[in-house]
Structure 1
Amino acid sequence: MTIENLWSTRPGRRAGILVMLGLLTGSAYAAYARSAEGSSSDESARCEALASYVGWGVQVETAQLVTESRAPAEDGSGRADPSRPILPEHCLVQGVINERTGVGGREFGIGFDLRMPLDWNGRFAFHGGAGMDGRLMPALGDIANTVDPSALERGFAVISTDGGHRGPFTDSSFGLDQQARIDYAYNALEKTALLGKELVADFYGTEPSYSYMLGCSNGGRQGLVASQRMPLLFDGIVSGDASLGFSRLAIGEMWNVHVLSRIAPRDEQGRPIYSQAFSDSDLELVETGVLNRCDALDGLEDGLVHDWRGCDFDPQVLTCTAGKTDSCLTGDQVTALRLLHEGPRTSDGEVIYGNFNYDTGIASGAWRGMRLGTSQTGDPNSADATLGRGQFSLYQLTPPDPEFDPTGPVDWDEMVERVRHTGAMGDGDSPFIGTFADHGKMIVYNGLSDQGMSSAEFVRWYEEAIEVNGEGLRDSVRLFLVPGMTHCLGGDATDQFDMLDAIQAWVEEGREPDRIVATSRSMPGISRPLCPHPQVARYVGGDPDSADSFECRE
C-alpha cells in the first residue's frame, strides 16, 4: 500500500494500518484515531460515515444515530414495544453480508444488527440467536431477558445476526440450500463477530478491550461452537440451555413424536391427537410423585430438586391397579413416560440423545408445549411435531426429506447416519477446547426442567471435556444446572441470575464463579445458590428462603 492509498482509507482503518506498520502504538492509537476523525464530538456524522463501509461482501443498509428510546420488539420487526427497556443513545448499523440468490431463487445473506452506545465501556458482545434464526433481533445482549439491564444498557457495543436467512424462527426451509446450512451452523456467527469488531474499531477509534458471547438455546449452541471452532474470537462466553449435539437432539424430538403416537388417541382420519396422550392432571400427578420422592434429598422440602442425580423416581409407582383415574397412570402411559425420559438408542443400546431427569417442570406449560401441544385434532401444534419435525427433515437430514414421517416405522441407526454430515457442521459437543481454555472463560448452564435439552448430555460433554483437557479445565469452564427451570427461563425455579456479571468478573478480575445467587419469578422472596457441577445446593440450616442457608457441595 502506498502512502497516498493509506491516507485515502477511512481514519479508523488508517490508524489500524499504522499500528501494523509500527508507526503508531499504545495509547497514541486512540488519540490519533479520535483526531483523525476530525469530528469527535459529532457522533452522528461518525455513525453515518459507516454507511460507506466496503469489504467483507458487506452492504450497509442503515447507519444512523438513535436517540434514547424504547428497545424495538424482539421479533425483528422494528416496531415499538412499550414493555421493552429504554436504550441509551447509540449508533445503529444494519446490513447484509454476502447477498446471493440460492436454491429455488430464494434470496440469502447474513443480516446483522450492530448497536454502539455513545457512552461506551470499551467492550463488545455478540447477542446469540434463537430457534432456527431467520429474524434480525435487536442487538441488546440480554440472554432471554435474564440479563437486566442488558449489555447495551451497560455500555457494551452489541451485534446480532439472522443466521444467514430470513423467515420465522420455526422455519427450516433454508436447509435446502447448502450455503445457508453452513451460515446457520457457524459461518454467520464468525463473519458477523469479526465484522462487528472492525466496525467498533472504526467508530470508536480503538478496538474493544474485551469480547463476549452471550446466548441461550441456539445462542447457547453458538457459544459452544465458538469455543470449539473459533477459540480466539471471544474472551468470555455464556452458553445457556444450548442445543448441544443439535443433530442428535433432533433425533430425540422425532423419538418423542414416535413414542407418543403409539398411545395418543386417534381422530377420524387415524391421526394421533398428541395433546390427549397425557392430561394436565396426569402431569401434575407425576410432578407430585417426583417431589415426594426427591425434594428432601438436599435437606429441605421446598419444591426444588437440587440433588437431581440422587433422584431415583420411577413412574411405575403411579400405575393404575384397576381402571384409569386422576390418581394413577395407565401401563401404556408409564411405558411412554419412561421411553420419553430415556431418549432414543441405537440397535446396540448406545444413547443417541438423553436421558432426561424427572423434575418439577413436567407439569409446566412448557413441557406440554414441547411434547404434547394443545391441539384437539390430528393437526399437531407441539414443538416436537412442528418445529422439531421441520428442522429434522429439512435441515438435519442429508439429503433433506420433507416427507419424513416419525409416526411410522423408523430405523434409528439410519437416522444417526443421515444427520452425520450436518452434525459435523453445527453440533457444539466437541470436548477439545484447550486453545479457548488457555485464554478464555465460559459459563455453561441448563435448566433441569428444560423440556428440550437433556442435562445428562451437558454432564457427559463436560466430564469428557475435563478428561480430554485435564482437571485444569475447571479453571476456565464451569457447568451450572438450575433446578426446576424450563428452557432458558421459567418454571418453579430460581431462574433469575446475572451471568454477564459472573463472566465479566471471571474474565476481567479472576473471580471464579464458585456459586451464583439466583432468585425466582414464580416463588417471590426466595434465593438459592447455583452450584458448579458436580456440586449441588444443600440446606445447612437457617432461613429457608435465603441462599445463605445453603452450601455448594457434592
Structure 2
Amino acid sequence: MFRFLRCLSSDPSRFRALLAMFALAALALAHAPHAHAASYLAKHCDDLDGKIVPASVIGLPTRGATVFSASIVKAAAPGNRNGEYCRITGYIRALQDTTPDIRFEVNLPTRWNGRALQMGGGGYNGTIVSGTEPMSFAPDSTPLARGYATFGSDSGHVGNAGRADFAVNDEAIVNFGFGHLKKTRDVALALIEMGYGRSPEKTYFAGGSTGGREGFTVIERFPNDYDGVIANAPAINFSGVRLMGVKVGQSSYAKPGGFVGLAQQRRVFETVMHDCDRLDGAADGIISNVEACRKLEPQIIASLRCANGQRPSLRDSCLSDAQLDTLQALRDGLTMPYALAYGVDRYPGYNVFQGVDFSGTLGLGDSPVLLNPPTFAANGYLFAQGDAYVRHFVARDLGYSALTFDIDNPGRFKQRLITLAYTVGAMNPDFSAFIAHGGKLIAMHGLSDEVISPNQTIAFYRGLLERYGSDTVDSFMRLYMVPGFQHGNGVFIPAWDELGALDEWVSSGVAPETLIGSDIAPATNGRTRPICRYPNYPRYIGRGSINSAANFRCVEP
C-alpha cells in the first residue's frame, strides 16, 4: 500500500485521475436508487393510510396531520409518466375550526435517489400542488420520475389561484404567507421517514412567481430546512406589486383618457423591437441588451406620441399624453412616503420601453370601461389583482374600490399594509443563517416580465451584494436574467435543467455558470441561447446561425 501511494505521489496526473474516478463513483453511488428504502416502501406504503403526524413534530402550531389515502401507483398506470411511486394525500388541521385545513400530497418513488423536493404554487394557490408534474422549464421529465420524493400543498385554502377571498381569515393569510411551507415540509419529511425508514439526504424547494416568493420565504424563515432553492420570477415584494397594480389602475381609469388600448400596447412593443432588437448584434426578435435599449427611451417615447399629445383617432395607434403617463407610471414604479416591512418603501418599475408586451392575457387589458370588480381580460392583470388585494386583504370590504385608495396616505390602513408585507412578503435581506447552513440558491427572472417586475429581483440581489460582498454571494447564489422571457410566455421561453444544476452544486460543489436554454416558444421552438449570469447578456458574435447558442457570448452591458 505504501509503495502504491509513493508511486501516485511521484505521478501527480495519475493521482488526479484517481481522485476524479473516486469522485465520479461517489456521485453515482449518491444518486443510485436506494434498494433497501425501495423494498421498505413497497411493504409500507399501504400502511401509511390513516397515519397521524402529531402536532409535536410540526414546527409551527397545528392540530396535527392525518393521511387520507396512501397507495402504490404502478408504472404502467394510465397517464402515469413518473414510474412506480407511493401517492399519499392528507390534511393538516388548522388551529381554528373556521380556518381551512392545509391539503397536501406526498409522492415517494420506488426508485428513490435519496432527495426530497417541495414544489411551490402560483397566484393565490388554492389547489394542491401534486408534485407529479414537470418543473416549469424542464418539460421533458418530472422530478418524481428522476427519483425525487416530491410534495406540495394548497397553501391552506380552496379556490381559484386568482381569487383573494380567503383573506377574510387571519390564520389562512398566515398559512398562505409562510405557514403552509413549514407545516407541509415537516409533515412530508415525517412521512418520507415512515415510508423509506430513513430521512432524505438533501431537501430542496422549487417554485415560480408565488412559488418563487415561497422559495425566498423558506430561505429567510426556515433556513436550516433546505439545502437548495430554485426561485423563478419571485413575487418577493407582494404588497409592493399589488399596490403597483392599484397605481396603474388609477392612471388608467381615474384619469380621463389614461387607458392604453390593445392597438397602442402593440405599437409600443413593435416600436421598441424595431429600435432595440439589433443592439445585441442579432435581429432575432429578442432584446438582450436592455441597458442599451434603455438609453434610447426618450426617442422611443417621442416616436410614439400623438401630434400635440392629443387622443389618437380610431385609425391611429399613437399614444396621447395621458396614455404615455400611464406607461411611464408603470415604468417608474412606486415610491411611498412610509416603509413597509424590512424598511421597504418602493417597488421598482417594469421594462415598459425595453421589450415587454402588455397586450397578452396577463397584460393591461382591452377595455376602457372599468368593470366591478375588475377582470384580468378587461382591465388588466395588475389592476385586477391590486383591486382584489385592497378589497380582501386590506379593507376587507367587497364594496371598496381601489380607485379611491390613497397609497401615499392610507390612514387607518397603514399598519395593515405593514403587517401584510411582513406576513406575505419575502423582503428580509438577512440570509446569514442560510449561508451558514451551506444552502444554495438559483434565481431566474425574465427581463420582459409583465407581472412581477424583474427590476425588483435585481434590486434585491444588489442589496445582497452590498450586505455580504460579491465573494459571499457567489458562494451561495446564482441570478439569471433571461431576455425576451415574460411571465411564462414571451418571444423566448427557456427550457433548461435547473434542478440538475442545483443538485450538482449542492451535492458536488460544482457551481453553475453560463447555462444553455432551449427555446420552447411555439414560433421559434428549438433555438438555443446562453443563459447568462447577471449582469451579463448574450451577444451574437457576428457569424454562424443565430439559432445556436454556440454563436453567442455572455458579455457585460
Cα drift, residue 279 of structure 1: 3.3
The counterpart of 1:311, out of the listed 281, 285, 293, is 293
Q: Which residue of 2 aligns with 1:524?
A: 525
Query: Partner of 2:462 in structure 1?
Result: 463
Are 1:410 and 2:410 an aligned pair?
no
Q: Distance in 1 between matches of 2:169 and 2:267?
A: 45
Q: In terms of mean alpha carbon deviation, does 416-425 or 205-214 score higher?
A: 416-425
CA contact (8 A) 1:48 1:65 kept: no
Distance 1:55 1:198 in 2: 10
Other structure's SS at 2:357 match: helix
- The equivalent residue for 2:124 is 132
1:381 maps to: 375
Give the Å deviation of 1:159: 0.5
**1:477 aligns to 2:473 (yes or no):** no
User: What is the aligned-residue identity percentage?
Assistant: 24
Matched, 1:425 2:423: yes
CA change 1:377–1:406 in 2 (3 A) is closer
For residues 6-26 of structure 1, what are the alpha-carbon distances to aligned partners after superposition, in whole Å with 9 as ceiling and x for unaligned?
xxxxxxxxxxxxxxxxxxxxx
Cα distance in structure 2, aligned partners of 1:411 and 1:476: 36
Matched, 1:329 2:319: yes
Tell me by how many angstroms 1:429 deviates.
1.7
The residue that corresponds to 2:388 in the other structure is 390
Cα distance between partner residues in 2 of 1:134 and 1:348: 32
Deviates more, 1:244-253 or 1:142-151: 142-151
Alignment of 1:113-192 (within 5 A): 113-140=105-132, 142-144=134-136, 146-192=138-184
1:416 Cα deviation after fit: 5.8
Give the secondary-structure state (helix, strand or coil) at the position aligned to 1:154. coil
Are 1:281 and 2:263 counterparts? Answer: yes
Spell out, residue by residue over 1:239-272, the C-alpha distance to the aligned partner (whole angstroms, 9 max, x if none).
Answer: 011111111111111112111113577xxxxxxx
Question: Quick check: 1:114–1:160 contact (8 Å CA) kept in 2?
Answer: yes
Equivalent residues in 2 for 1:70-89, closer than 5 Å = 86-89=81-84
Q: Residue 11 of structure 2 corresponds to which residue in structure 1?
A: none
Could you tell me the TM-score, scaled by structure 1's length? Answer: 0.82
Distance 1:467 1:87, change over 3 A: same
| 2:68 matches 1:61 | yes
Please say if 1:193 is aligned against 2:193: no
Aligned to 1:25: none
The superposition leaves residues 289-322 of structure 1 with CA deviations (integer Å, 9 ceiling, x where unpaired) of 2123322222222211112123222423211126
Query: Of 231, 240, 259, which residue of structure 1 is paired with 2:251?
Result: 259
Q: Is the 8 A contact 1:47 1:203 kept in 2?
A: no
Judge conservation of contact 1:147–1:499 (CA < 8 Å) in 2.
no
Shift of 1:34: 9.2
CA deviation string 1:345-365 (max 9, x = no partner): 225999621211134331551
Q: How many residues align?
A: 490
How far off its partner does 1:237 sit?
0.5
Q: Contact 1:316 / 1:334 at 8 angstroms: preserved in 2? A: no
Query: Once the 2 structures are TM-superposed, how far is the Cα of residue 189 of structure 1 from its aligned partner?
Result: 0.2
Q: Hey, what does 2:13 align to over in structure 1?
A: none
**Cross-structure match for 1:302:** 284
Alpha-carbon distance in 1 for matches of 2:388, 2:275: 37
Give the secondary-structure state (helix, strand or coil) at the position aligned to 2:334: coil
Contact 2:119/2:211 (8 A) holds in 1? yes
Aligned to 1:97: 92
| Contact map agreement 1:47 1:63 (CA 8 A) in 2 | yes
What amino acid sits opposite 2:282 in the alignment? L
Residues 426 and 539 of structure 1, relative CA distance in 2, 3 Å threshold: same
Q: Secondary structure at the match of 1:114?
A: strand
Residue 338 of structure 1: which of 316, 328, 333 is its match?
328
CA displacement 1:147-204 (0-9 Å, x = unmatched): 5311111110001011112222222222121211111111110111121112111111
Say which is worse superposed, 197-206 or 318-327, in terms of deviation: 318-327
Give distance in 1, aligned partners of 2:137 and 2:541. Answer: 32
Cα 1:473–1:215 shift into 2, 3 Å: same
Which ranges of structure 2 fall in alignment gaps of 5 or more residues? 1-33, 56-63
Could you state the TM-score of these two structures normalised by the residue count of structure 2?
A: 0.81
- Change in 2 beyond 3 A, CA 1:187/1:373: farther
Q: 2:135 & 2:351 partners in 1: Cα distance?
A: 24
Aligned 8 A contact 2:528 2:549 in 1? yes
Query: Where does residue 17 of structure 2 map in the other structure?
Result: none
Q: In the TM superposition, what are the counterparts of 1:501-512 in structure 2 within 5 Å? A: 501-512=500-511
